[in-house]
């Protein structure tokens, strides 16, 4: 079974803090993704990576950056957290084949005060 | 523009009352359509992938079907434990694996 883990289930930070969200997958997948999920807006893609040190912007990258130094680990960074970044953050990984499935982690509920 | 619309937004059923959830999509070239189940406060759990019109997949009380414009998730004789939000997503060719999600249908099954 594919396992995707995220560093925290719940996180509370203050406005202006730098926040790191980590995601680790154990299936040697090339592709990894970061989404945020908000009521009424669904899942929106922030960034994705298709290889180590490679990254591409998703639909809402503003205010975020990412790091992929190792294949199994994909980090999302909020350089200066703001209240409008309060959300559920979901990481996913996907093997490199024809229309394959993204497997999601348990999510991190981030609250920015 | 690639788009996914799910209906209804919310559905309440009595235990044993069968129904269907709809996922309508427009995509430049469908690589795959995915169904996920999401419980409150948790990440989406993969259910099915459908690749071409006419394809069907089943798992316990769930059956997913696909046409050129929409997909249905049929729930037969649901139980309270089937209560969850069901998400539909599409992947287009040439999109490096990006998924476009619908808003989801929240299903509540009452005993």
Q: Report the gap between the CA of A69 and the closest CA in chain B (Å).
A: 20
The span from the CA of B41 to the CA of A25, in Å, is 20
pLDDT of residue B21: 98
**Could you report the per-residue pLDDT of B13-66, keeping only the tens digit for each?**
999 999 999 999 999 889 899 999 999 999 999 999 999 999 999 999 999 999
Out of A50, A98, A102, name the one closest to residue B99 (CB).
Answer: A102
Distances (CA, A) of B87 to A66, A96, B6, B13: 26, 22, 8, 18
- Per DSSP, the three-state class of B42 is coil
Average pLDDT, chain A: 92
A contacts of B99 (beta carbons < 8 Å): 33, 43, 45, 102
Average pLDDT, chain B: 94
Q: Which helix (H) or strand (E) holds A74?
A: strand A73-78
Strands B10-14 and B105-110: parallel
Q: Which residues contact A97 (CB under 8 A, 6 or more apart)?
A: none
**Could you report the per-residue pLDDT of A52-105, keeping only the tens digit for each?**
988 999 999 999 999 999 999 999 999 999 999 999 999 999 877 655 788 999
pLDDT of residue B97: 77
Nearest to B46 by CA among B89, B81, B95, B2: B89
pLDDT of residue B92: 87
B contacts of A94 (beta carbons < 8 Å): 97
Contact by Cβ (8 Å): A86, A38 = no
Q: How many other CB atoms are there within 10 angstroms of residue B74's CB atom?
A: 15
- What average pLDDT does range A7-29 have in this prediction? 94
Quick check: B101 and A42 CB within 8 A?
A: yes
Q: What angle do CA A66, A69, A74 make, to 5 degrees?
A: 45
- What average pLDDT does range A15-26 have in this prediction? 96
- What average pLDDT does range B74-80 have in this prediction? 97
pLDDT of residue A36: 97
> Which of A39-43, B33-37, B73-77 is predicted least confidently?
A39-43
Asked if residue B73 has pLDDT above 90, the reply is: yes
Residue of higher predicted confidence among A75 and A3 = A75
Helices (H) and strands (E) in chain B, counts: 0, 11
Asked if residue B95 has pLDDT above 70, the reply is: no
CA A5 from centre of chain: 11
Quick check: B34 and A103 CB within 8 A?
A: no
pLDDT of residue A97: 67
**DSSP code of residue B46:** E
């Amino acid at each position: 079974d594919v396992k995707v883990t995220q560093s925290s289930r719940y996180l509370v930070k203050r406005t202006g803090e730098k926040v790191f969200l980590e995601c680790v997958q154990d299936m040697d997948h090339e592709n990894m993704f970061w989404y945020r999920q908000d009521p009424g807006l669904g899942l929106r893609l922030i960034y994705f990576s298709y290889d180590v040190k490679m990254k591409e912007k998703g639909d809402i990258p503003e205010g975020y950056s990412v790091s992929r130094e190792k294949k199994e680990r994909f980090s999302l960074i909020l350089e200066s957290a703001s209240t409008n970044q309060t959300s559920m953050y979901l990481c996913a990984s996907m093997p490199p084949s024809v229309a394959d499935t993204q497997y999601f982690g348990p999510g991190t509920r981030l609250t920015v005060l | 523009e690639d788009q996914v619309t799910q209906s209804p937004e919310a559905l309440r059923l009595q235990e044993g009352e069968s129904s269907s959830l709809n996922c309508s999509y427009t995509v430049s070239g469908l690589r795959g359509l995915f169904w996920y189940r999401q419980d409150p406060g948790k990440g989406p759990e993969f259910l099915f992938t459908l690749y071409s019109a006419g394809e069907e997949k089943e798992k316990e009380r769930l059956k997913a079907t696909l046409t050129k414009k929409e997909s249905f998730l049929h729930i037969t004789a649901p139980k309270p434990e089937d209560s969850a939000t069901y998400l539909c997503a599409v992947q287009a060719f040439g999109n490096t694996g990006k998924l476009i999600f619908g808003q989801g249908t929240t299903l509540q099954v009452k005993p």
